[in-house]
Amino acid sequence: MHLSWLTLLFLVPTLCVGMPSTTLCVDDVRGTGDLGVVVERATGSVLIVETTTHTRLAKIQGLGDLSHASVVFSRDQRYAYIFGRDGGLTKLDMLRCEIVKRVMQAGNSVGGAISQDGRLVAVSNYTPGGVKVFDAATLELLADIPTQGSKVVGLVDAPGQRFVFSLFDAGEIWVADMHSPRSPKIIKFKEIGKQPYDALISPDGRYYIAGLFGEDGLARLDLWNGEVQRILPNYGKGDIKKPVYKMPHLEGWAMAGDYTFVPAIGQYAVLVVDGQRIPVHGQPVFVIARPDGRHVWVNFAFPHNDTVQVIDVMAMEIIKTLKPGKAVLHMEFTPRGEEVWVSVRDDDQIKVYDTETFAEVATLPADKPSGIFFTARAHKIGL
Amino acid sequence: MHLSWLTLLFLVPTLCVGMPSTTLCVDDVRGTGDLGVVVERATGSVLIVETTTHTRLAKIQGLGDLSHASVVFSRDQRYAYIFGRDGGLTKLDMLRCEIVKRVMQAGNSVGGAISQDGRLVAVSNYTPGGVKVFDAATLELLADIPTQGSKVVGLVDAPGQRFVFSLFDAGEIWVADMHSPRSPKIIKFKEIGKQPYDALISPDGRYYIAGLFGEDGLARLDLWNGEVQRILPNYGKGDIKKPVYKMPHLEGWAMAGDYTFVPAIGQYAVLVVDGQRIPVHGQPVFVIARPDGRHVWVNFAFPHNDTVQVIDVMAMEIIKTLKPGKAVLHMEFTPRGEEVWVSVRDDDQIKVYDTETFAEVATLPADKPSGIFFTARAHKIGL
């Protein structure tokens, strides 16, 4: 029996994680509240990371075209759903470090969402347009919502088991009630503005705000009463528009305290919905509030994408300018905001900063990193 | 070798969770985002539960006096820290279903908090007063903050690695900067009002609001600029005070959209900080906003503690009255608010409701349940 006991002890750690298909990322039971996924866009791979001691746990290959990829998480924070640009939808087990299921759901997708109850995953498509809804457990297709060829953007989940999204070409916002997953009820809001190109939902899930590319301004849908309002209708008027190298990401919009901070398209400015305008270093891409709302972090489009600036919300001015490195693509705060992870694509690095002192506390190697997503998103409406 | 393989396969599930000291609650790796702890006050035990399929995973015994017990979670959501009335501080491993460490830290404690970075756990004490700060990993005592015999209430974590708490007898609010855990820097705000008896911090961590028992009104500390203001100074004036059977829990205060809902002491009313007053069924104890802020749920003190009422925030009126059973003590929403768990002490039950239809979706047996705490709290400031 002595040999068998050695065998036993030797094999247990592997068996505990079910012989993962790649590197062994979890050699024992562990919590999943401090996990995250980093997209490596050029190589179609992702890193599984943890934020407590800033480590890489595993690298997962074979996820296809991950340019403009995004990630949502299961409500137990064990599984990540990764939406690739090529229409690939991948369910990743972050504890076993393996791909559970992967489907190619359309030719060209740009984002996804998970339902309030965690049982449905929705994917929006550029080509051929439309939204597809899958069973989060099996990735079985449950519903296909056509949009008459219109590109779908700004897909988010909303309270009441709903998905909300915008039709770029049609200039409409649609709300899909998914209580019956195979027969969604669609409410359409028409003529909300020209060419909605992205959108976000307020942290409480009440306001859905779409940015308009075809005109100045934003369209705001109040999901409590169904009213659509135009906000910031003339924010670009009179400004000489610079060429737009990169569209801002609206899911990055910052709602801090009583203010909403918006990246101005083609301008070197962050706009506050109350009308204030804060000049910044370049064309903002992500404008993200620290979880406590005291600071707002901003990164920029080429040629200023080596820089990050920090706005103090009380002073309404820039208090810090950082130079993380070449091509800063994304920033993600730890759930309580004590640190922020920054992806620096062309330096093949993730840099972690203390958000109070702005000191660099860790650096992790990553292959052309873009999006960073932490599992705390599982508990948040619209993320 | 054949026998040894049988032995191996038989033993693996147990070994994977390290031979838990009680029932086997996790027979494989699993996520921790959908876990929770239910306090069984009369028996000094807690239940580990999961909210995805409404099941009990384990019952843990031997936690001492759990009347008025509260719970916080480690940032990886694997460990629960349980604060008992007898001063016991227990660190529970929710995956191995076992007590990792337990210390008796004072004669009489009423609450605790975990620091922004998850590395410190603080406990506030009635007798002999003061706050003790422990290493979250080892429960080693790092700091002891005396309060000259004053009862400490309303202890919360705040951004910037701070703890904030109130001194009942001295009428002060103290802010402890814990960047150097063994030598906290204390800032004292004096004469904030008579007998602060509990407090909460706004979800963004900016405002610390203490309820005053010695006078009408609340004291609000703005942690961004250090200003203390009095709010609702005369909310009780002119009302015939009814005997107060139970003090409201201020951590239950609801901040929904632009409104803050407050339980009135000794009155059958919920107060809105803008001045509105909503008559309710009895003396409110917990006034808690659904995560999307559209509804506020209220439970009541004896003799009306068989009832729960739901306020619609847009209509500012009660839209539903539920009768869950005898002695409704606490309510906890799932992170995205689709369901709420309600503890019904004298029926020895946890009832789970769909928050949209108000249908009862599950019932779990529990031995005199009181507080219910879900792991999503790990990611929230002040919880």
Answer yes or no: is pLDDT of A301 > 90.
Answer: yes
* Residue B25: band (very low, low, confident or very high) from pLDDT cuts 50, 70, 90: low
My answer on whether omega of the bond before A279 falls inside 30° of 0, hence cis, is: no
User: What is the rounded CA–CA span in Å between residue A55 and residue A365?
Assistant: 10
C-alpha dihedral (A47, A49, A55, A56), degrees to nearest 10 = -20
pLDDT band with cut points at 50, 70 and 90 for residue B213? confident
Amino acid identity for residue A183 in this structure: S
Query: In angstroms, what CA-CA distances link A246 with A241, A270, A273, A288, A305?
Result: 13, 15, 21, 17, 11
Tell me, yes or no, whether B351 lies in a domain: no
Domain annotation covers residue A259: no
Spell out where A213-327 has E strands: 218-222, 227-231, 254-256, 259-263, 269-272, 277-279, 284-289, 295-300, 308-312, 317-322
- DSSP-derived letter for residue B340 is E
Q: Is the pLDDT of residue A18 over 50?
A: no
Measured distance CA(B268)–CA(B277) in Å, rounded: 10
B155 part of a folded domain? yes
In a domain, residue B140? The reply is: yes
Say which residues have a Cβ less than 8 Å from residue A351's Cβ, sequence separation at least 6. A324, A325, A341, A342, A344, A360, A362, A363
B110 or B201, which is more confident? B201
Do the Cβ atoms of B159 and A294 come within 8 Å? yes
Q: What is the CATH number of the domain that holds B112?
A: 2.130.10.10
Specify the residue for token string 């004291």.
B219
Percent share of chain B, pLDDT over 90: 70
**Chain-chain contact of B31 with A381 (C-beta, under 8 angstroms):** no
Q: Which residue of B has its CA nearest to A76?
A: B33
Question: Does residue A177 fall inside a structural domain?
Answer: yes
Q: Cβ distance B107 to B94 under 8 Å?
A: no
- Record: contact B206-A74, CB cut-off 8 A: no
Distance from CA of B26 to the nearest CA of A (A): 9
Q: Is the pLDDT of residue B11 over 60?
A: no
CB nearest to A335's CB, from B293, B294, B379: B379
Q: Which two tokens stand for residue B292?
A: 């999307």
Query: Quick one: which of A270, A162, A273 has its CA closest to A220?
Result: A273
The Cα B209–Cα B205 span in angstroms is 11
Cβ burial B261-282 (10 Å sphere, 16+ → b, else e):
bbbbbbbbbbbbbeeeebebbb
In chain A, which residues have their Cβ closer than 8 Å to the Cβ of B26?
Answer: 29
**Euclidean distance between CA atoms A44 and B257, whole angstroms:** 40
pLDDT > 80? residue A198: yes
- As for how many domains chain B has, the answer is 1
Give me the pLDDT at residue A247, please. 64
Question: Comparing A86-95, A246-255, B9-18, B70-79, which segment has the lowest mean pLDDT?
Answer: B9-18
Residue A43, in any domain of the structure = no
pLDDT at res. B242 = 57
Contacts B336 to A, Cβ<8 Å: 75, 116-118, 159, 379-381
Closest by alpha carbon to A145, among A199, A182, A108, A198?
A182
Nearest residue to A26 (alpha-carbon basis) of A11, A15, A39, A40: A15
**H or E element, residue B174:** strand B172-177
Determine the distance in angstroms separating the CA of B214 from the nearest CA of chain A, rounded to an integer.
31
CA distance A361 to chain B (A): 13
Whether A307 is covered by a domain: the verdict is no
pLDDT digits (tens, 9 = 90+) for B72-126: 999 999 999 999 989 999 999 999 999 999 999 877 787 899 999 999 999 999 8
Q: How far is B25 from chain A (nearest CA, A)?
A: 12
User: CA of A4: which chain B residue's CA is closest?
Assistant: B4
Which structure tokens are listed for B5?
């393989």
Residue of A nearest to B376 (CA): A379
Instruction: Considering only residues A302 and B273, tell me which one the structure prediction assigns the higher pLDDT.
Output: A302
Q: With an 8 Å Cβ cutoff, are A76 and B379 in contact?
A: no
Among chain A residues, CA nearest to B292: A204
Spatial distance between the Cα atoms of A44 and A22, rounded to a whole number of angstroms: 15
Report residue B124: phi and psi, to 5°: -100, 150
Quick: pLDDT tens for B228-245: 999 877 765 445 455 555
Judge: A337–B159 Cβ closer than 8 Å, yes or no: yes
- State the pLDDT at residue B4: 43
Using a CB-CB cut-off of 8 Å, the residues of chain B touching A201 are none
Which of A4, A356, A378 is opposite residue B33, by nearest beta carbon?
A378
Q: Would you say residue A14 has pLDDT above 60?
A: no
Q: Concatenated DSSP letters for A86-140?
A: TSEEEEEETTTTEEEEEEE--SEEEEEEE-TTSSEEEEEEEES--EEEEETTT--
Q: Which residues of A touch B225 (CB under 8 A)?
A: 314
The verdict on residue B308 lying in a domain is: no
Q: Which of A10-19, A86-95, A240-249 has the lowest mean pLDDT?
A: A10-19
Considering only CB atoms, A117 lies closest to which of B76, B338, B379, namely: B338
pLDDT value of position A239: 56
Question: Contacts of residue A116 in chain B, CB cutoff 8 Å?
Answer: 336-338
Domain carrying residue A219: 105-234
User: Which pLDDT score, from 0 to 100, does residue A126 have?
Assistant: 87
Write out chain B residues lying below 8 Å of A29, CB-based: 16-18, 26, 29-30, 78, 95-96
